[in-house]
Amino acid sequence: MRVHKLTFAALAVAAGLSLTACQNDNAGTGQSDPLSPSSVSSSGGGSDSGSSDQGGAKNSAGTSSATNSGGTGTAAGTGSNANAKVGKCRTDELEITAKDNTIDGDPDGTVVVTLTNHSGRDCTVSGYAGVDLKTSAGSLSAKRTGQQAGSAILKNGKSTYFPVNYPFNKSGGSGVRITGLVVTPPDETKSVTLNWPGAATLPVTDGSGSPVKVGPVGSAGQGG
């Protein structure tokens, strides 16, 4: 009986060793039970993770696209505004000055009026400014020369010019005393009054027309 018990014990040990060897062989192949909890968890987690990532990418892309679209629209709108028609120069946006620019030998005197853009933006200025001389005999409006007036964009900080021509008083009399220069920029109604920098008097006329003429903006060079 003792021998049989030992034999059975040996067989049990051998069987246990054989079963362990088989299990180790399966582990070595890397195969696992597809229904094992770790396999389901990995598969399920991967699938859910993939679905979540893809959904997140789509949502992110959609949000990003909408944001970019809005940004592009804003940028385009800004560009459109930047490229829109430039507004005209307003009186309050211009620094207006005048100086005598008569050249020796000229038959008439010349005062050059300077318009400097200090608005902080570009603006358009074209045509004729309104020019009136304040005199001892009342207000005298300058007559346009009839020269073709062009349109130009006056850059911020830049200047443009126009001439005021007037006859010298060679009559020997006291003539008409000039007390001031009133300038109204083109297409504006607000005026500025400046000191008159030219000759002190104008000759007395018969009233047939203004002896003072004004050229269009841009028809005089820088200071002349």
Among 159, 168, 152, which Cα is nearest to 111's?
Answer: 168
Poorest-pLDDT segment among 40-54, 69-83, 147-161, 201-215? 69-83
Give pLDDT, residue 171: 82
Average the pLDDT over 173-197 and give the result. 96
HSE, CB side, 13 Å, CA atoms: give it for residue 204: 7
The pLDDT mean for the chain works out to 72
Residue 156's nearest CA partner among 106, 116, 104, 190 is 116
**pLDDT digit string, tens, across residues 50-104:** 433 434 333 333 333 333 333 323 222 222 234 458 999 999 999 999 999 999 9
Q: Give the helix/strand (H/E) hosting 10.
A: helix 2-29
User: Which residue in this structure is represented by tokens 């309104």?
Assistant: 130
The DSSP output letter for 93 is: G
Q: Give the pLDDT band of residue 204 (cuts 50, 70, 90).
A: confident
| Residue predicted with more confidence, 220 or 185 | 185
Listed range (19-23, 102-106, 219-223) with the worst mean pLDDT: 19-23
Per the DSSP assignment, residues forming a β-bridge with 153 are 124
Per-residue pLDDT tens digits for 98-156: 999 999 989 999 999 999 999 999 999 999 999 999 999 999 999 999 999 888 899 99
Is the pLDDT assigned to residue 222 strictly greater than 80?
Answer: no
Q: What is the pLDDT of residue 221?
A: 57
Q: Give the number of residues written for the chain.
A: 224
Q: Are 217 and 186 in contact (CB under 8 A)?
A: yes
Tell me the chain's radius of gyration from C-alpha atoms.
Answer: 47
Which helix (H) or strand (E) covers residue 25, if one does?
helix 2-29
In terms of pLDDT, which residue wins out, 99 or 208? 99
Match 């911020």 to its residue by tokens. Answer: 156
DSSP string, 109-172: EEEEEEEEE-SSS-EEEES--EEEEEETTEEEEPEE--PPPPEEEE-TT-EEEEEEEEE---SS
The CA distance from 62 to 59, in Å, is: 5
Going by the DSSP 8-state scheme, the letter that residue 187 receives in this structure is T
pLDDT at 139: 95
